Amino acid sequence: MTACQTTSMALEGERAAVLSVSRRFRLSHCPMTWLTLATSLHVIFAFAGCRQSTEDEAVVEHIHARPLRLTDENFQELVTDSHRPILVDMWAPWCEPCIEMKPIIRQLTGELHGQVNVGELNVAENAFIAEKYKVDRYPMLLLFIEGEEVERLVGPQSMESLSASLRKHISLGEVR
């Protein structure tokens, strides 16, 4: 048995335990749990001279996934010209419900990574797009498919309601 195989087998039990606890207590949104696991695996495999698995790389990508920062200047390129569905969070820095939704938006970004883009547009800094789409209540989430707005959600949304809205329009894998 090679050093890589031995290292991999030893870590598999630890990784399974962390994943089990994370799922049991719904910690999939907890970056520290995943970051600790992914960093540990990366360091140990690198030390042993082994190639990190694509599953571990996906965990790291999931952690670092952030919504796209949309502006008046890049909106057409990233939203209306996009062939991938995109959920746009129209928010304002003075809007408390908008700020309270940020963790849900970030979690959704990680969970939908590779399937749906998620973007944020600060309406206070991007009045042209806010006017064009008649954004007058906050938070407001717009779902675009093939550049066309297909759904508009107004007010604070739970992860469950966002997932249900997305599923009406898009075939997705499991979204918690």
In tens digits, the chain (176 residues) has pLDDT values of 555 555 445 445 555 555 554 555 554 444 444 445 444 544 444 444 555 444 444 444 445 689 999 999 999 999 999 999 999 999 999 999 999 999 999 999 999 988 999 999 999 999 999 999 999 999 999 999 999 999 999 999 999 999 999 989 988 655 55
Regarding whether 151 and 76 lie in a shared domain, the answer is yes
Q: Say if residue 97 is in the same domain as residue 154.
A: yes
pTM of this structure: 0.64
Residues 137 and 95 placed together within one structural domain of the fold = yes
E strand residue ranges, the chain: 68-70, 86-91, 117-122, 140-145, 148-154
pLDDT of residue 159: 94
CA-wise closest residue to 69 among 60, 79, 54: 79
Q: Are residues 38 and 98 in the same domain?
A: no
**139: cis peptide before it, omega within 30°?**
yes
Is residue 174 included in any domain, yes or no? Answer: no
Task: Give the chain's domain count.
Answer: 2
* Cα–Cα dist 155/140, whole Å: 6
Same domain, 18 and 103: no
**What number of H helices and E strands is found in the chain?**
7, 5
Same domain, 124 and 153: yes
The string over 147-159, giving b where at least 16 C-beta atoms fall within 10 Å of a residue's C-beta and e elsewhere, is eeeeebbeeebeb
Domain boundary residue, one of 40, 64, 88: 64
Task: Say whether both 111 and 53 belong to one domain.
Answer: no
For residues 93 and 58, membership in a common domain is answered with no
pLDDT at 60 (0 to 100): 43
Q: Which residues are catalytic?
A: 95, 98
The CA-atom distances, in angstroms, between 111 and each of 13, 114, 130, 152 are: 24, 9, 27, 21
Does 111 lie in the same domain as 41? Answer: no
Range(s) of the domain holding residue 7:
3-64
